[in-house]
A and B are shown apart, each in its own frame.
Chain A
């Protein structure tokens, strides 16, 4: 049974229901009211069933991380026999944990901020400032995503050596200052904004800098929030390049430290899963934070 409060709220038209216009779907407005609770219940049940399937691996990781013993079971044991936090303790004891988190967090935040700045600026040009050959330049941007990263490792490493950036934060950071993914994402968002907006501003005498920072940027808030999530995630998870460029223990990031807990012949599944849980939580937090921002962002922009 759908709960009564929801059913009542749904009878009211969407626009009168609060300050989150974009957050409501058309489906919440029309179909005959008699049929709605049923459909809604079906939808909710389906969504919750799906969510269980989505949640399952997380649960399995959690359970394995508090099981001690040999090996990873071929079938998941969701309730471990002797739960223990030994794996987490080992994680904190065997790695300079605070330092590692600080490294990962610092790099992820720097990468995210830089990518948002560089991507939004480039996206503005590709959306609002035509010039001859623009689509070719844009295609070249996209082309940088198309070659397997694995084959770039060695040439990039040679280049970092020439720049003297082996074993430094800059060596990790520089290759991800710009993101063609981000440029493309934000360009699509800007292209969906009505051109009448900037034309009105231009008539008022605003230049490109003003239009970009005052009008366009605030309006692509949801997409910037999306980019924040993915930039952060990519940096937080990135493994192969930091592995190759970083050597010193003091500079190591979380994925490197976690990999370092595995031996030549044996895998400590409890430790690996504890690490997996520890690394998932910040990303989930960023996502939920971004979600909140998206809704507020849309509510506050006042475009209707």
Chain B
């Protein structure tokens, strides 16, 4: 099993930095360090500018505008009034906001394992030589491209407390099904189920691309060594898939905190706020409740939380992600 790991040599980011830098300056030493460093910097700027300029101009700038708004009371219709950190203090003490943050976290805790394990299983299954493989991939991708309006209708029907398919199946095994989206305790799990179902195809596509990038000779070598299916999965597929897995994890968390469409379409945050999430509150506060300042403050609180979580993940990746 050492075969897989030796060829996909574990190289921590820091190590590879040195290597690239080393070879760069080694080649440049003869012509003069300075000129080469300027050129190197110019290439970096040239390569980053096409993405950095639009991002700064059309995302970072509005973000800071929103930060400015967050220190004001503003109904969008008339002038803003300065309230300092008042919006933030109000939000911290608002039970509905606490509920929204809690729900967003619960959503991620429920959603991510489902969608990751399901997506990984699908990717592995549909990467193997099953019949109708391309057709099946297309079908599993269908929910990803279907609008939430349609998906919500379907899931509300599947999870209909009286006469829905889910409760019918449960009744066959003698279980009294819950009230699903009409019940405060089951509204969020209903949303989680529907979301995981819809996003399976998304995770599948990302992981398929990852699987297809794994050099085939690793498997051949392992096979020669007599490694079984599970051993190859564990010692080649999983380690080689960690960059994709890391991507899926980070993106799912970022998107998970921004979950909105499905809540809006399935429960509208109800019953009685039981399934409200942060971005649903942001939308309502901005465009329905005339409290754009509060909405901006809430957005910045969410932003800082997601940033913190992501930075922790970025630091943590060094322990488990294998880059070539």
- Please report A residues at the B interface, Cβ cutoff 8 Å: 2-3, 6, 9-10, 14-15, 21-31, 40, 43-44, 47-48, 50-51, 53-58, 60-61, 72, 74-76, 117-119, 121-122, 124-125, 128-131, 135, 137, 139-156, 158-159, 174-175, 177-181, 183-185, 188-189, 191-195, 199, 202, 208-209, 212, 219-220, 222-223, 225-226, 229, 233, 237, 272-273, 276, 279-280, 283-284, 287-288, 291-292, 294-295, 298, 303-304
Contact = CB atoms under 8 A, between A and B. Distances in A.
Interface of A is mostly: helix
Contacts of B163: 75
B92 to A, nearest CB: 18
A237 B147 contact: yes
A151 B299 contact: yes
Contacts of B139: 51, 54-55
Nearest to A182: B51
Given A10-B129, A151-B282, A56 B50 contact: no
B54 A174 contact: yes
Given A148-B282, A152-B62, A180-B55, A26 B219 contact: yes
A125 B44 CA distance: 6
B296 interface: yes
Contacts of B283: 148, 150
A98 B122 CA distance: 37
Contacts of B51: 118-119, 121-122, 141, 177-179, 183
Contacts of B213: 22, 189, 192, 219-220, 222-223, 298
Contact of A202 (B23, B278, B279): B23
B215 interface: yes
Contact of B140 (A24, A50, A185): A50
Nearest to B278: A148
B18 to A, nearest CB: 8
A31 B58 contact: no
A129 B131 contact: no
Contacts of A294: 208-209, 212
A57 B254 contact: no
A86 B20 CA distance: 63
B177 interface: no
Given A174-B58, A287-B138, A139 B23 contact: no
Contacts of A55: 139, 142
A176 to B, nearest CB: 8
Nearest to A142: B310
Given A188-B243, A189-B209, 4 more contacts: A22-B211, A118-B54, A178-B55, A192-B213
Nearest to B139: A51
A175 B246 contact: no
B124 A280 contact: no
Residue of B19, B216, B244, B283 with most partner-chain A CB within 10 A: B216
B128 interface: yes
Contact of A195 (B11, B146, B287, B303): B11
Interface string B167-195: 00000000000000000000000000000
B205 interface: yes
B157 interface: yes
Nearest to B66: A151
Contacts of A145: 254
A175 B60 CA distance: 11
Interface of B: 11, 16-17, 19-21, 23, 27, 40-41, 43-44, 46-48, 50-55, 57-63, 65-66, 69, 76, 122, 124-131, 134, 136-147, 149-151, 153-154, 157, 160, 163, 197, 201, 205-206, 208-217, 219-220, 222-223, 227-229, 232-233, 236-237, 240, 243-244, 246-247, 250-251, 254, 257-258, 260, 278-279, 282-283, 286-287, 292, 295-296, 299-300, 302-303, 306-307, 310-311, 314, 323-324
16 contacts: A15-B216, A24-B216, A25-B127, A50-B140, A61-B150, A142-B250, A143-B307, A147-B66, A155-B65, A158-B65, A174-B54, A192-B324, A219-B213, A287-B141, A291-B137, A294-B208
Contact of A223 (B47, B209, B227): B209
B216 A22 contact: yes
Contact of B157 (A3, A74, A195, A273): A74
Given A26-B233, A130-B17, A47 B206 contact: no
A188 B322 CA distance: 10
Contacts of B130: 40, 43-44, 47
Contacts of A188: 243-244, 246-247
A26 B229 contact: yes
A146 B209 contact: no
B131 A6 contact: yes
A61 B142 CA distance: 12
Given A125-B47, A151-B282, A57 B145 contact: no
A117 B51 CA distance: 9
Contact of A159 (B61, B134, B142, B149): B61
A27 B128 contact: yes
Contacts of B157: 74-76
A56 B283 CA distance: 31
B145 A192 contact: no
A191 B324 contact: yes
B286 A150 contact: yes
Contacts of B228: 30-31
A250 B185 CA distance: 47
B163 to A, nearest CB: 7
B153 A72 contact: yes
A53 B198 CA distance: 11
Contacts of A181: 251
